[in-house]
Structure 1
């Protein structure tokens, strides 16, 4: 009888070999779906600052999914770099990470989470709509583009 896989989600550095590989895979997927001018990626180096917190989901120790909170001025935080490796998709890992990001943002007093995603990223749209995000116009300093969809979600500010 096999045991259930061990799932862990923790804050990690983006500079690990695991994360460098996963971000490389994510970038390749995004390049295959979206023109270069509509890709708003962050490098692992850009993710090392104090404004970014990266969560990594691991299954039996293997890096399986990631997602980050990026802090902006004015009570707004942004979702960045959400990705589940193909072998681990459909297990709810992105939602588990998203829940951790929302919890962190609310705990830090942010009033709103926003994001930009590709117009043809169906899994992303299902994730965000399922988590209570509403489609909106361009957010932050993103350009209005036929290749982008924007979402926002008001947060409960911690007392």
Structure 2
């Protein structure tokens, strides 16, 4: 059975540009293993997109996808570092399995993505409520907005988080 045109296009792009992408990523990331991972993930992403036949400038396309993946990797690493730092700062040592730690970090990354899709005001209100523990009234006073505005933004943030978590 002959490969689909999408699969054939992926094969061509891979054969012609994988080593270039890997070298480009190695220069950006200064780590051969991370470069290999991101290069692999880039082709997985393109394979899933089912649009390889339409790619006219493969290197530009690969670089764009890879940049997004690198940003995601840095964001995930920053979230993981913040989580581990907060865990270490706890007065009592907390024993968490590696599996649970991975699930928690993945959940935090998912929530971060959901919040990133919201506006800065909604993010700020959500953080003041959920992280700083402020009441809606305290947030309204601090940000000099109405209580209704705070409630509206919290509904948006919580709805987005619930939708993202339901997709998992």
Which structure is higher in RCO with an 8 Å CA cutoff and minimum separation 6?
Answer: 1
Question: Max radius of gyration: which structure?
Answer: 2
User: TM (normalized to structure 1)?
Assistant: 0.26
More strand, by proportion: 1
More helix, by proportion: 2
